[in-house]
Amino acid sequence: MTTRELLLRIEGEYREMPGLSLTLPQAQRLWGLDSNTCAFALTTLVERKVLKQTTGGTYLRGPSSLRGPSSWLCGHDAKVAGTVKG
């Protein structure tokens, strides 16, 4: 799975379940990811305002996720051009 596909998958899960609230360990278990990959994906989505992180460490749907699927993606984004093992 590419990094882009992973980010789209996570965004889709939060879009389908607007009340979804996960900690990093919960997200790792849900998507079967190692801690570094999961942290990278969640941090990237927070930076793009797709998700937001609470002071308690949980990840919730953010303001950009209201605009429509993958509104943050651009075709030549080097940050999401890699692949993810798993």
CATH of the domain at 69: 1.10.10.10
Question: Which pair of tokens denotes residue 36?
Answer: 């570094």
Residue 85 belongs to some domain of the structure: no
Render pLDDT for 22-77 as a digit per residue (tens, 0 to 9): 999 999 999 999 999 999 999 999 999 999 999 999 999 988 755 555 554 554 34
Report the number of distinct structural domains present in the chain. 1
pTM (2 d.p.): 0.76
Range of the domain at 51: 3-80
| CB-based contact 72:48 (threshold 8 Å) | yes
In a domain, 52, yes or no: yes
pLDDT at 6 over 50: yes
More confident residue, 1 or 31: 31
**pLDDT the model gives residue 80:** 46
Per the domain annotation, does 37 fall within a domain?
yes
Question: Residue 8 pLDDT > 50, yes or no?
Answer: yes
With contact defined as beta carbons under 8 Å apart, do 53 and 59 qualify?
yes
Note whether residue 36 is domain-resident.
yes
